[in-house]
Structure 1
Amino acid sequence: MSVTIKDVAKQANVAPSTVSRVISDSPRISMKTKRKVRKVMDEMGYHLNLNARVLVRQSTQTIGIVMKNSATHSFENPFFAEILKGISGSCHANEYSLNLTTGESEDAIFQDVVKMVQGKRVDGIIVLYSKEDDKVVPYLMECDFPFVVVGKPLYGANQFMYVDNDNVQASREAANYLIELGHKRLGFVGGDLQFEVTRDRLEGFQQALQEHNIEIPESYTRNIELDNSAKGKEVVSDLMNLSEPPTALVVTDDYNGLTVMSALQAQHINVPDDVSIIGFNNTMISKLANPPLTTVDTNPYQLGFQSSNGLIDTLQTPSMLKRGVIIPTSIIERESCKAI
């Protein structure tokens, strides 16, 4: 039989109304009483009736998460796992639950979002990407539904909150790192150009080359679409079979970085003796790679934590100004880069 508020009140020798006020963290109750009642709640195994709280507060205490692409691929990439850890940490501290999209296509993901909003399943939404021709963000704006984007807005920058890195500067620093090691033939392996993060990292890479008066052939810049390891092997084969192949690569995701390293090893090309590689995100993959991957730490945990904090702030104070939060980056040196 479940423990009720009346049971807790009797054990703590307080009125049931006092227990209710402790649950809602009322300022009318002293900290001494709150500690006593909460101790009794823990000892008796009392749990909130969330359905009742939804009716009383008109709140689900749940945040929706919109994945970048199919749930299957997102969970394969440890970058998103780190972001979710950050979101989860913030939600736990603020007593929120999570509801994730599970669709395997853009249309299915969008329908998940519609169900979240129209079904009032969540109080707000975190969108884990910024993408051209996206349907989700315009829909949320049209519905005037609270949301935060992880990524730089492509439009409506003053109308919603976002959390991001300075990806142009981060990529510029990554390219400069290789240039300072003496590399002049630099290649770039990015992701899907529909996503803002890929375009910004390409821009930063190009800025570094221009600053050092380095010109590279167009064939040195390639992209790997989402969830396409076969494309990664093709990209590596094309780059390494050039008459003058690049001596160093900026790969804009550790996940793709591992794909590139595996393809190089299959062609008996040594990292870093033959080709140096720098990745992005500093996930578990970068530490376990052989050799360990030099990478740009984008602090994915903080991207998630700050996006959740920002959304919860917005939910609690709807009139607050929408803000952009930039999370700093740094280069983590490991063994995949070598001076020329």
Structure 2
Amino acid sequence: MAVTIKDVARRANVAPSTVSRVISNSSRISEKTKERVREAMKELGYHPNLNARSLANKSTKTIGVIMPNSAKVAFQNPFFPEVIRGITTKAYQEGYGLYLSTGQTEDEILEEVKQMVYGGRVDGILLLYSRVNDKVMPFLLEHGFPFVLIGRPYNIDESKVTFVNNDNYKAAKTVTDYLVLLGHKRIGFIGGNLDYVVTVDHMKGYEQALQNANIELREDYIVHHAEVKEGGQDAVIELMSIDQRPTALVVADDIMTFGVIRMLEDMEVHVPDDMSIVSFNNVMISELSSPPMTTVDIHIYDLGLQATHCLINKINDPDIEEKKVIIPHRLIKRQTCKKME
């Protein structure tokens, strides 16, 4: 015979309503009582029927996590496992599960979001990217559905959206300034997909730094590819075919930089002696590469953690004001940059 809340209440010597509040982690119950009730649940082998509770509360205790494309492609980049590590840490603390998107195109992703919203599958949604011509965000705003963006809204009033982001413009300007201070004047830019706002912000920071240093902006020094190793390799082939090659590169992502370094090695172009490189993200591969990458730590884990914190606050209080959270960045100097002689 199945163990019930009443059985747990008798074992813990509390009212059944107290057991129910402990299951929902109510702040009205003392930690001492919670420990006693949880111990009774453990001894009796009681597991709450979360589906039944969700129906009663009109809550799924689930967060939808929307990737920029299929998980198979996204997880090639260490950014996404790390940001999800931050998300799951906070979600677990608050008793939420995750519902990961699997759509491979913009239309498939939008359809999946519609199913999450119309089908009542999730209580709120985390967007792990920001597109220039996004379809998902306008849909969520139109339906008043709780969501938080990791990134910066584009062509949408920022006061209407809660978002967690880095100052990507400032970060890109800083690293370009750093290369200028090392004496470089031929500085290339390897960016990610131009559909993403982070790429737009990186480019603006790079261009502003060159302008401030009175260095001519060369269109042939700017290339864009997917933020995977192969994208970095393809970018190098383009840039190395130019008559007057760059002496330094700003690369949008560590995994791309890994491909850049490998391809330069094949071409017998040595980093940093022949080419200085600054990257972004500071994922594990940046420290383990040869040579170790100079990169910008954008605190990916904190992006996920803070975004989830904001979303759960919105779920619990639909009238809460929208807010902007900027996660600080830090330049990590390693061994891929060298002063021009």
Q: Shared topology, TM-score over 0.5?
A: yes
Instruction: Compute the displacement of 1:97 (Å).
Output: 0.5
Question: Cα gap change, 1:2/1:186 in structure 2, threshold over 3 Å: closer, same or farther?
Answer: farther
Instruction: Compute the displacement of 1:27 (Å).
Output: 5.3
CA distances 1:250-299 after superposition (whole Å, capped 9, x unpaired): 00111211121122112121111111111101111212211111110111
Q: Which residue of 2 aligns with 1:112?
A: 112
- Do residues 62 (structure 1) and 88 (structure 2) align? no
Q: Which residue of 1 aligns with 2:148?
A: 148
Moved more, 38-47 or 202-211: 38-47
CA distances 1:40-97 after superposition (whole Å, capped 9, x unpaired): 2234443221111111211000000110122111111001111101111110111111
CA distances 1:299-328 after superposition (whole Å, capped 9, x unpaired): 111111111100101111111110011010
Q: Which residue of 2 aligns with 1:20?
A: 20
1: CA distance between counterparts of 2:136 and 2:172?
A: 27
Q: Which residue of 2 aligns with 1:324?
A: 324
Q: Which residue of 2 aligns with 1:286?
A: 286
Q: Which residue of 1 aligns with 2:165?
A: 164
Q: Which residue of 2 aligns with 1:33?
A: 33
Question: Cα gap change, 1:100/1:160 in structure 2, threshold over 3 Å: closer, same or farther?
Answer: same
1: CA distance between counterparts of 2:108 and 2:227?
A: 17
Q: Which residue of 1 aligns with 2:253?
A: 253
Q: How many residues align?
A: 339
What are the within-5 Å matches in structure 2 for residues 76-155 of structure 1? 76-154=76-154, 155=156
2: CA distance between counterparts of 1:329 and 1:57?
A: 40
Identity, % of aligned pairs? 50
- Contact conserved, 1:185 with 1:216, CA < 8 A, in 2? no
Q: Which residue of 2 aligns with 1:6?
A: 6
Instruction: Compute the displacement of 1:175 (Å).
Output: 0.7
Q: Which residue of 2 aligns with 1:177?
A: 178
Q: Which residue of 1 aligns with 2:235?
A: 235
- Contact conserved, 1:175 with 1:250, CA < 8 A, in 2? yes
Could you say what secondary structure the match of 1:148 adopts?
strand
- Contact conserved, 2:191 with 2:199, CA < 8 A, in 1? yes
Question: What amino acid sits opposite 2:274 in the alignment?
Answer: D
- Contact conserved, 2:69 with 2:105, CA < 8 A, in 1? yes
Question: Cα gap change, 1:5/1:273 in structure 2, threshold over 3 Å: closer, same or farther?
Answer: same
Instruction: Compute the displacement of 1:26 (Å).
Output: 4.3
Could you say what secondary structure the match of 1:137 adopts?
helix
Could you say what secondary structure the match of 1:102 adopts?
coil
CA distances 1:107-126 after superposition (whole Å, capped 9, x unpaired): 22222111111111000001
Could you say what secondary structure the match of 2:102 adopts?
coil
Q: TM-score, normalised by structure 1?
A: 0.95
Instruction: Compute the displacement of 1:2 (Å).
Output: 5.1
1: CA distance between counterparts of 2:180 and 2:228?
A: 30
What are the within-5 Å matches in structure 2 for residues 196-215 of structure 1? 196-215=197-216
Question: Cα gap change, 1:16/1:224 in structure 2, threshold over 3 Å: closer, same or farther?
Answer: same
Question: Cα gap change, 1:97/1:244 in structure 2, threshold over 3 Å: closer, same or farther?
Answer: same
Could you say what secondary structure the match of 2:339 adopts?
coil
Instruction: Compute the displacement of 1:35 (Å).
Output: 2.4
Q: Which residue of 2 aligns with 1:192?
A: 193
2: CA distance between counterparts of 1:233 and 1:32?
A: 58
Question: What amino acid sits opposite 1:240 in the alignment?
Answer: M
Question: Cα gap change, 1:294/1:3 in structure 2, threshold over 3 Å: closer, same or farther?
Answer: farther
2: CA distance between counterparts of 1:265 and 1:337?
A: 15
- Contact conserved, 2:61 with 2:122, CA < 8 A, in 1? yes
Q: TM-score, normalised by structure 2?
A: 0.94
Instruction: Compute the displacement of 1:207 (Å).
Output: 1.0
1: CA distance between counterparts of 2:115 and 2:228?
A: 26
Q: Which residue of 2 aligns with 1:52?
A: 52
Structure 1 residue runs of 5 or longer lacking an equivalent are: none
- Contact conserved, 2:232 with 2:257, CA < 8 A, in 1? no
1: CA distance between counterparts of 2:270 and 2:205?
A: 27
2: CA distance between counterparts of 1:293 and 1:236?
A: 16
Question: What amino acid sits opposite 1:130 in the alignment?
Answer: S
- Contact conserved, 1:152 with 1:196, CA < 8 A, in 2? yes
Instruction: Compute the displacement of 1:220 (Å).
Output: 0.8
Instruction: Compute the displacement of 1:227 (Å).
Output: 5.5
Question: Cα gap change, 1:25/1:224 in structure 2, threshold over 3 Å: closer, same or farther?
Answer: closer
Moved more, 30-39 or 179-188: 30-39
Question: What amino acid sits opposite 1:32 in the alignment?
Answer: K
Moved more, 299-308 or 11-20: 11-20
Instruction: Compute the displacement of 1:337 (Å).
Output: 1.2
Instruction: Compute the displacement of 1:178 (Å).
Output: 1.3
Moved more, 101-110 or 3-12: 3-12
- Contact conserved, 1:72 with 1:104, CA < 8 A, in 2? no
Instruction: Compute the displacement of 1:5 (Å).
Output: 1.6
Structure 2 residue runs of 5 or longer lacking an equivalent are: none
2: CA distance between counterparts of 1:323 and 1:120?
A: 25
CA RMSD of aligned residues (A): 1.7
